[in-house]
Amino acid sequence: MKQFICVFVLMNSVIAMAQTKEALPYYEIPEYTEAYTANSVAARMIDALGFRYYWATDGLRDVDLNYKPSESGRATSETIEHIYGLSKFIRNTVLSADKDTNKAELLFEEKRKQTLMNLKAVSDVLRNTETPIQLEAVEVPFWNMINGPISDALWHCGQVVLLRRASGNPFNSKVNVFSGKVRE
């Protein structure tokens, strides 16, 4: 009977983890819109960041998260923490009425999920709003969002890919960042 309970709990845990993984946005980039607008271009930039982050962080192990290339460098987990902070900044700037105000310390999987959810929330608002978002009303001009936190987060996604390779866990070779799709 104990073995049955252990198997049952283990199976439910595996199913729950698989469902959580499937529920995350950016396994693939959403289809692009027909028209180029300020909002659709900004949304696509966020989608590209979400896609890269999804795959840069997919399947990271504790050894990958703890990997630090030198004493003065950041560990992978610290880089991921920084990207999470950037996603909060992007969300909180664009979605002033729907901020990520979480101050709790998150475990890696929770942080990964919240980073993806932050990016998805911003992209959805940008994509589904017909009139341009008036970001001039916020403290940070959108131009600075592009060359600041959005570009910085893209830069750091590349670092995560490099760090995971160095720790022996290479990036999924079936991911095509050009098309935003995964080859089966």
* All structural domains of the chain with their residue ranges: 27-182
> Could you tell me the pTM of the whole model?
0.85
Q: What are the tens digits of pLDDT across the range 1-13?
A: 555 444 444 444 4
Q: Is the pLDDT of residue 20 over 50?
A: no
**How confident is the model at residue 7, as a pLDDT?**
42
Contacts of 80 (CB under 8 A, 6+ apart): 57, 65, 108, 111, 112, 115, 160
8 Å CB contact between 105 and 93? no
Res. 136 pLDDT band, cuts 50 70 90:
low
Domain 27-182 bears CATH identifier 3.40.120: no
The backbone torsions φ and ψ at residue 111, rounded to the nearest 5 degrees and listed phi first, read -65, -40
8 Å CB contact between 35 and 140? no
Question: Which residues face 181 on adjacent strands?
Answer: 176
Coil, helix or strand for 67?
Answer: coil
DSSP 8-state assignment for residue 169: -
**How confident is the model at residue 133, as a pLDDT?**
66
Cα–Cα distance list, 130 to 30, 42, 155 (Å): 18, 13, 30
